[in-house]
Amino acid sequence: MATPLSTLTVASADVELRRAVLADLGAVVRLLADDPLGKSRELGPDEDLQPYRNAFRAIDTDPAQLLVVAVAGHTS
């Protein structure tokens, strides 16, 4: 996993902020697909994730971008 950028405490729970890694992609896609707007446009987590992998790599390799995930209840 990536090194934490920061850890916040929100409502008594620790939330770790860190750079997103490819292993986070399935969880991110599930969140997108579960959103009311995403239900009609995102692929489900059981679909081919290759388009999302391609997009992730394009964004992740752009030095002007930083993909961050927040992980609740996680301790390093």
pLDDT, one tens digit per residue, over 33-61 is: 887 777 776 666 566 788 889 999 999 99
Q: CB-based burial of residue 18 (10 Å sphere; 0-12 exposed, 13-18 middle, 19+ buried)?
A: buried
More confident call, 76 vs 67: 67
More confident call, 62 vs 26: 62
Q: How far is Cα of residue 23 from the mean position of the Cα atoms in its chain?
A: 9
Structure tokens at 2: 């990536």
User: How sure is the predictor about 4, in pLDDT bands with cuts at 50, 70 and 90?
Assistant: confident
Task: Supply the pLDDT for residue 1.
Answer: 61
Structural domain spans, the chain: 20-69
